[in-house]
Amino acid sequence: MQTPPPRARRLLLAVDAPSLLHRNHHARAHTDLRDRTGRPAWALHGMLRQILEAIDQFAPDALLFGLDDRTTSMREGLYPGYKAGRAVKDATLVEQLERAASLLDALGFRTVTPPGLEADDVNASAATWASREGWDCVIVTSDRDSFANISAHTRVLRLIDGGISGSPLLDERRLRALYGVDAARYLEFAALRGDASDNLPGVAGIGEKTAPVLLDLMGSMRAVWSDIEHCGGENLVATVDSWCLETGARRMGATLLKRLTAPGARERYDFNISIMAGQTDLELGLTPDVPGSPGLLPLDRVRVSRVVDFLGVGATTDLALRVLTEPPASEG
């Protein structure tokens, strides 16, 4: 592969490890792949293959892996129904989730398991860290919550069934094309819409079609709530109905106001924001100016060979040696 030209900014690849493990468990369980001690390894192997493919594609300078705290959940403490309704995890998946950190740490990557929190919080903190340090960031996940972290210097590779090469890389422009909202307003959009996968209902009557119109016309939910509090929503109704007149849509200003002022609507929105917002100030332990510190590429060749070979797939060991033990693109 031809070496890409040097970049002006270094690149951090932030990986939602549980997301990759879940997807690969369901996609690869039929292989019944085992490591050299006979333990289930298909999800771990699939996760590692996708990581290697992402490194091959993006040539990052450092990697950070977020993991969920599997012993306690701050969000469940606030809302016992959080993620209720999801299927019980298969025992072989649980085992591989619990072994993921040791595999990644053994390779020389940097992993973070924040107490009471999730990989989404690590992603949010990674985007903040990259912005502060003058780096670019690519978040690898299948979770839409990370879309709130998209900015001029942070993109999200949203994993779908096509794998790394077939997954969309979302930036500010593509996010707006998909949802009709700016990245800075995505969290507000999500709080209005709700998230069925996390068992979080949205504001009744305001979904994926109405929320973008509201945010686009009013600028932010802060402006919406302020108008309701100080003017009874008069500006909101007038602005929305004016837009409806211009576009030929049916007038809906009064209906929107009624839904936003319904009992519990503001409380539902505020609660969703508190649950959905990723924590941005986690200590990530990244020390890019210290050679050989965890997470920095390239990794030690002997170490990579020993660790990956334990999974028993020679082709993956060869790929790992190629993409993990050569200097990143920014050093070209």
Q: What's the predicted TM-score (pTM) here?
A: 0.93
Which among 35, 99, 41 is positioned nearest to 67, based on CA atoms?
99
pLDDT of residue 1: 37
Shared-domain flag, residues 232 and 97: no
* Residues 147 and 262 occupy one common structural domain: no
Structure tokens at 246: 């211009």
Question: For the chain, what is the mean pLDDT?
Answer: 94
pLDDT reported for residue 331: 59
- Given this model, what pLDDT does residue 86 score? 85
| Residue 215, domain CATH | 1.10.150.20
pLDDT at 5 over 80: no
185's CB contacts (< 8 A; 6+ apart) are 215, 220
176: tokens are 């707006």
Does 115 score more than 70 pLDDT? yes
pLDDT of 177 above 60: yes
| pLDDT, tens digit (0-9, with 9 covering 90-100), for 219-247 | 999 999 999 999 999 999 999 999 999 99
Whether the pLDDT of residue 156 is over 90: the answer is: yes
Write down which residue in 276, 296, 320 finishes a domain: 276
Please compute the mean of the pLDDT values over residues 287-311 and round it to a whole number. 94
Q: What is the pLDDT of residue 322?
A: 95
- Domain with 34 in it: 11-175+279-331
Report the percent of the chain where pLDDT is more than 90. 91
Looking at the structure, tell me whether residues 199 and 131 fall in a common domain.
no
The rounded percent of the chain whose pLDDT value lies above 70 is 96
Distance CA 25, CA 41 (A): 9
Q: What is the pLDDT of residue 38?
A: 97
pLDDT above 70 (res 330): no
- What average pLDDT does range 308-313 have in this prediction? 96
pLDDT for 327 equals 76
Q: Is the pLDDT confidence value at 149 over 90?
A: yes
Q: Are residues 297 and 152 in the same domain?
A: yes
Same domain, 208 and 86: no
167 and 312 within one domain: yes
Clarify whether residues 25 and 117 are in a common domain.
yes
DSSP string, 72-133: --HHHHH-TTTTTTPPPPPHHHHHHHHHHHHHHHHHT-EEE--TT--HHHHHHHHHHHHHHH
Q: Has residue 108 been placed in a domain?
A: yes
Asked if the structure places residue 295 within a domain, the reply is yes
Among the three residues 276, 296, 319, which one is the final residue of a domain in this structure? 276
Are 37 and 161 in the same domain?
Answer: yes
Mean pLDDT value across residues 200-212: 96
Number of domains in the chain: 2
β-strand 110-112 against 200-201: which pairing, if any?
unpaired
Q: 168 and 191 in one domain?
A: no
Closest CA to 45 of 322, 325, 314: 314
Would you say residue 130 lies in a domain? yes
What is the CB-side half-sphere exposure of residue 76 using CA atoms within 13 A? Answer: 11
For residues 160 and 30, state if they share a domain.
yes
Same domain, 271 and 292: no
Domain end (from 259, 276, 293): 276
Do 60 and 157 meet the contact criterion of CB atoms below 8 Å apart? no
For position 115, which CATH number holds? 3.40.50.1010
Model pLDDT, residue 328: 65
Whether residues 169 and 191 share a domain: the answer is: no
Distances (CA, A) of 200 to 66, 75, 85, 147, 149: 23, 12, 11, 17, 20
Residue 1 in domain: no
